Structure 1
Amino acid sequence: MRVLVTGATGFVGGRLAPELVAAGHDVRALVRDASGYDPPEGVEVAEGDLLDAESLTGVFDGVDAAYYLVHSMRAGEGFAERDRRAARNFAAAADAAGVDRVVYLGGLGEEGSDLSEHLESRREVEAVLANAAFDLTTLRAAVVVGAGSASFELVFQLVDRLPLMVTPQWVRTPCQPIAVADVVAYLVGVLDAPETAGDTYEVGGPDVLSYQAMLERTARLAGRRLYILPIPVLSPSLSTYWVDLVTDVPRSVAHPLIHGLKNPVVVTDDRIRDLVDVDLTPFDVAAERALRERGVAVDD
């Protein structure tokens, strides 16, 4: 199958492209600047920008399936509008080229009006893609654990630099993190499961944890001391100030993520487990791998 990967230079896309090649697919990676991209063996490179519709001419030609793995949070304020425009340009180009299937990695969380701006934008992109002519498969994930994950980087830098945390109630919010290797396995696997076309699935790891538990487990693995004192008056908005002070995760990424911590992100529909067989990775194992890949000495 000829497959296009957008977001090929990103945290998930960079891992997905070689796995698709290993699964026997012909892979084309869409990047904004081909001169700065060293493609994995067997990956064809196409240059274009989803925010520039004209630059996408020919990019989707001959493509059977495409992955949408892009977001604009790192670009700062107005990311929702940029993501909306990128999704519309992607959908128009894919439809014009006759692409049959698209796979989108979105955000896990409850439906409703009280979503964070980040999660609301993820759902809006999903809606734009769902209104196109191709069959859309959506996978919704919470915190993806791996070296290079903005969410996990926040977790590690907090435990690395703050032995005592005075934290808001969101540290008790339940979350179902998933290892990046498992996300990639699901993304590859749905292509071989035609019954997943046109449907939405939730993916998560085997552990449901509070954010406090994730912080404590990561601290233990990294050999850091950590004391957490939750208090009810510190809101996610106020939390962003001390996150800015003690981490170097860009504000444009950290702030939307922090504001989303009020929303429980737990799998309530695990139908994907019957369609794509993935041996799920426990949080501690995924976190240990991420820390080692990041160069952190891990306590055995």
Structure 2
Amino acid sequence: MEVLVAGSSGFVGRSLCPKLEAAGHAVRAMTRRPRSYRGAGAPVRGDVHDVESLEAALAGCEVAYYLVHSLDEPTFEQRDAAAARRFGQAAAEAGVSRIVYLGGLGADGDHLSTHLRSRRAVEHLLGVAGVPVTTLRAGVIVGHGGISWEMTRQLVEHLPAMITPRWVRTRTQPIALDDVIRYLVGVLDCPATDGRAFEIGGPEMLTYGDMLHRLAAIEGRPLLVLPVPLLSPRMSSLWLSLVTDVDPRTSRSLIESMVNETVVRDDSIRNLIPFEPMDYDEAILRALGQRAKARRAA
């Protein structure tokens, strides 16, 4: 199958492209800088904000993966909406039969953060021109290079004690990067996933505080977490920028999302793509191993 991956050089795309190739698919890795691309797949120039480049990149493709976001932009909600609408239209004109999108967990009835609301809007806008969209909604993805995971790791490794907002008590359902990839690849061979949204997660519901403590225990580090009620998202993001290398604008968007529970309420995808996702401790060890391998190769 001829497959385009938009976002091929990003956190998820870098792992997805080689797995798609291993499964026998012909992969086009869409990137704004094809000459410098060194990952799996055949690099093709494409920019979600450039219609002509999308037409060329999508021509002849049966399926397109959409792994694009612009959280580090001040107007990311509007930019992501425009990009999704543009990509969906170009896919329809190119005759693409399906778009696969990685979105975010969060109940529709909740007062969703701007970040999660944007993810849900992108889900809808990708399909406005008529191409069926398969959406996989995930919470925290545990893997080397993921922004949410890097925030967690760097907090634990840089601070033996921390004052945190109340979001430290919010529940989420972290999932290993490798398991996200298994789902993303698996939907291609499962017609029943066409045009549907699914929730994916690991086997454990944890608070963000639980995640911090479990990582600290695995790394043998002391950790004291003191939740306080008066730490605003802006103050939290500024604090995070002092102890992590995550962009303050990105961290603020993610922190605002941490008031929303991101847990799986419908696990029907487990019946369609059956396997046992790894638990949080195993996901931690896998992510730390990925980081060690990347540092050795640098």
TM bucket by the smaller chain?
over 0.9
Asked whether the 8 Å contact 1:202–1:268 carries over to 2, the reply is: yes
After superposition, what is the alpha-carbon deviation per residue over 1:145-167, rounded to whole angstroms, capped at 9, x for unaligned?
Answer: 00000000000111111111112
Between the aligned partners of 1:11 and 1:21, the Cα distance in structure 2 is: 17
Q: Counterpart of 2:127 in structure 1: which amino acid? A: A
The answer to whether 1:28 aligns with 2:28 is: yes
2:45 corresponds, among 22, 47, 50, to 47
Q: Counterpart of 1:69 in structure 2: which amino acid? A: L
Structure 1 gaps, min length 5: none
The answer to whether 1:66 aligns with 2:67 is: no
- Secondary structure of the equivalent of 2:258? helix
- Secondary structure of the equivalent of 2:27? strand
After superposition, what is the alpha-carbon deviation per residue over 1:183-210, rounded to whole angstroms, capped at 9, x for unaligned?
Answer: 0000000111101101110000011100
Between the aligned partners of 1:290 and 1:139, the Cα distance in structure 2 is: 21
1:204 corresponds, among 175, 195, 201, to 201
The answer to whether 1:3 aligns with 2:29 is: no
RMSD: 1.3
Between the aligned partners of 1:113 and 1:269, the Cα distance in structure 2 is: 16
In structure 1, the partner of 2:125 is 128
Between the aligned partners of 1:58 and 1:102, the Cα distance in structure 2 is: 16
Deviation of 1:232 (Å):
2.5
Matched residue count: 293
Deviation of 1:113 (Å):
5.8
Q: Counterpart of 2:233 in structure 1: which amino acid? A: P
In structure 1, the partner of 2:189 is 192
Aligned-pair identity in percent equals: 51
Deviation of 1:65 (Å):
0.7
Structure 2 gaps, min length 5: 294-298
Between the aligned partners of 2:280 and 2:232, the Cα distance in structure 1 is: 26
Deviation of 1:129 (Å):
1.2
2:55 corresponds, among 46, 54, 57, to 57
After superposition, what is the alpha-carbon deviation per residue over 1:115-147, rounded to whole angstroms, capped at 9, x for unaligned?
Answer: 111111111111101323111111000000000
Deviation of 1:80 (Å):
1.3
Q: Counterpart of 1:243 in structure 2: which amino acid? A: L
Asked whether the 8 Å contact 1:182–1:278 carries over to 2, the reply is: no
Give the stretch that moved more between structures: 104-113 or 268-277: 104-113
In structure 2, the partner of 1:273 is 270
Q: Tell me: CA distance 1:238–1:252, structure 2 relative to 1, closer, same or farther (3 Å).
A: closer
The answer to whether 1:216 aligns with 2:213 is: yes
TM-score of the pair, normalised by structure 1 = 0.94
